[in-house]
Structure 1
Amino acid sequence: MTEVSEVDHDAAHDTAQVAMHEDHTGAPPAAPPGPPTFVEPEAVEADVTTLFAGDTGVLPYQARRALALVLQRRYLSAAGHPAEWKALLAHQGVLASRCHDLFVELVVDRDYEIAYKRQVREAGLSIPVLLKDEPYKRIETLLMLFARNRFRQEQGVGERAAYVDAEELVDYALGFLAQDETNLAGRRREIDNAVASLVREHVLDEVAQGRYRVEPVVEILLPVERLRELTAWLRDPSPSGPGSPHTTDRAGEADEADETHDADDGSDAVDEDEEATA
């Protein structure tokens, strides 16, 4: 019993000493360090100001422009819209989610610095289709094939850009006309219209009268697999077989074989001057 009392007395003495120390310093001993405090990421809404009356959007201005341009045009490029491209990369997850809400996929190709949209199709889901599959015309397909080959050739020798002239495009397309073709003026107009269509869709960019820069998007519109099919079709020498581009049947097959692409009811054809005023 005596030993226990001495232990209790010593413990009480130590407790009193600690209490006296706390009273003297005015603060309890520091707690041991714990795990670092988790910092919540800053919400998108934090940097957003209202852009118009009744605005409930949460994206900054350039990110909204990026989303609108992707939905409006064939594609968005870093070269054509550097500010919007930068905003698209910064907010890619949110913009992809916005597109998914519309059953549209946002595709971002960082190698070619191009972003474009693609219609979502899923078996078992009833999906309202916003983007229609619209085939290129036969002449447009031929011109794109020529432009893509030129693009790859220039890349192969280390050039950063590829260019084609209007007369080159015309001569190439005329080479696939039927040998007994007589309406050359009509065919020339058809080729000119095809060139104008590719310029509107920003596959070709007119840098001077009759001279065009080939845009990298041609690689996406005509992937390697598709290029092989078209090259085999063009090289088939059979006079009446499925590979001949000079037969009546081939004209129909060419339309079926034209590259299919996503377009939103004509809204892709946007004039740059009109957009600059937006």
Structure 2
Amino acid sequence: MSETTVEEGFIAPVPMEEDPSELFAGDSGTLDADVRRVLVRLLQRRFLTADRNRAQWRTLLENQQVIESRLHDLFVHLVVDHERGIAYKKQVRSAELDVPVLLRDEAYTRAETLVLVHLRTVFQREQGAGETSVRVDVEELEQTALTYFDPDDTNVAGHQREIRAAVARLAKEGLIEEESQGRYRVTPLVEVVLSNERLTELRAWLRTQQPAGTEAGR
């Protein structure tokens, strides 16, 4: 029996570890690298915004169905708000189905809630007045939040540190963006985090928390 020879032009099989479609050794994924990066960002971060991540936003819209499918495999919803240019994830919850919880809400501290309510209130007021861009100063946030602390409490410096830390967290989450030292632009994310209904509830609760004889900024 004669020895079989490889005919000219025949392409020999390539081992999987050398497959150019693989992104790393042993890769069995089917998504392109850019799509995977968007999926990871959605899982890592609370929001993906169109204005700050134009390329990833475009990738998301072009591959929304497959990204949604991957998230649904994890019992996670994808919400894409085209009007605001915001995408975020939500945990699937069901009374009929045993759903493992992947996303756990990290509650805001009291100081963070005070700052957030003021940001949402200012954003709502300025947007209602026709302003397209809303800005606040850190001193304004401090003074408003401090009205909810006991005026007889002498630890003002400690409360100021709490409020500054709250501002830092909200900036990290993208709800505000520092344009200059101590000057922030309020982003549309505040509307997503704090709905009108929830804002009304928190305002009512805060009125019960405010020391007598003080009045919060409106």
* Structures share fold, TM-score greater than 0.5: yes
Query: After the TM superposition, which segments of 4 or more aligned residues of structure 1 sit over 4 Å from their partners?
Result: none
What SS class does the counterpart of residue 76 from structure 1 fall into? Answer: strand
Q: Distance in 2 between matches of 1:212 and 1:55?
A: 43
Partner of 2:106: 134
Distance apart, 1:233 and its partner CA: 2.3
Q: Distance in 1 between matches of 2:25 and 2:52?
A: 30
Task: Please state if 1:188 is matched with 2:128.
Answer: no
Please give the per-residue CA displacement for 1:44-101, whole angstroms capped at 9, x wherever unaligned: xxxx944333333322333222211111001100011111111111111111110010
Please give the per-residue CA displacement for 1:137-175, whole angstroms capped at 9, x wherever unaligned: 111111111111222233223332211111011011111
* Contact 2:148–2:211 under 8 Å retained in 1: yes
Partner of 2:60: 88
* Contact 2:112–2:167 under 8 Å retained in 1: yes
Corresponding residue to 2:205 among 233, 237, 242: 233
* Contact 2:80–2:86 under 8 Å retained in 1: yes
Structure 2, unaligned runs of 5 or more: 1-19, 213-218
User: CA RMSD of the aligned region, Å?
Assistant: 1.8
Q: Distance in 1 between matches of 2:27 and 2:131?
A: 46
Partner of 1:273: none
Structure 1, unaligned runs of 5 or more: 1-47, 236-242, 248-278
Q: Distance in 2 between matches of 1:82 and 1:117?
A: 18
Q: In structure 2, give the amino acid aligned to 1:172.
A: T
Q: Which has the larger radius of gyration?
A: 1
Task: Please state if 1:71 is matched with 2:43.
Answer: yes
Partner of 2:127: 155
What SS class does the counterpart of residue 59 from structure 2 fall into? Answer: helix
Q: Distance in 2 between matches of 1:145 and 1:83?
A: 32
Corresponding residue to 1:168 among 133, 140, 148: 140
Q: Distance in 1 between matches of 2:125 and 2:142?
A: 19
Q: Distance in 2 between matches of 1:110 and 1:219?
A: 14
Give the count of matched residue pairs: 193
What SS class does the counterpart of residue 146 from structure 1 fall into? Answer: helix
What SS class does the counterpart of residue 77 from structure 2 fall into? Answer: strand
Map 1:260-275 → 2, pairs under 5 A = none
Please give the per-residue CA displacement for 1:191-231, whole angstroms capped at 9, x wherever unaligned: 11111111111111112111111121110111011011112
Q: Which structure exhibits the higher relative contact order, with contacts defined as CA atoms closer than 8 Å and separated by 6 or more residues?
A: 1
Q: Distance in 1 between matches of 2:126 and 2:39?
A: 32
Partner of 2:209: 244
* Contact 2:147–2:210 under 8 Å retained in 1: no
Per mean C-alpha deviation after superposition, the further-off stretch among 117-126 and 214-223 is 117-126
* Contact 2:147–2:211 under 8 Å retained in 1: no
Bigger helix share? 1
* Contact 2:76–2:91 under 8 Å retained in 1: yes
Task: Please state if 1:107 is matched with 2:79.
Answer: yes
Please give the per-residue CA displacement for 1:211-267, whole angstroms capped at 9, x wherever unaligned: 1111211101110110111122234xxxxxxx23349xxxxxxxxxxxxxxxxxxxx
Partner of 1:29: none
* Contact 1:146–1:169 under 8 Å retained in 2: yes
Per mean C-alpha deviation after superposition, the further-off stretch among 117-126 and 220-229 is 117-126
Partner of 1:206: 178
* Contact 2:133–2:185 under 8 Å retained in 1: yes
What SS class does the counterpart of residue 147 from structure 1 fall into? Answer: helix
TM-score by length of 2: 0.82
Partner of 1:120: 92
Q: Distance in 1 between matches of 2:203 and 2:120?
A: 12
Distance apart, 1:124 and its partner CA: 3.4
Q: Distance in 1 between matches of 2:146 and 2:55?
A: 41
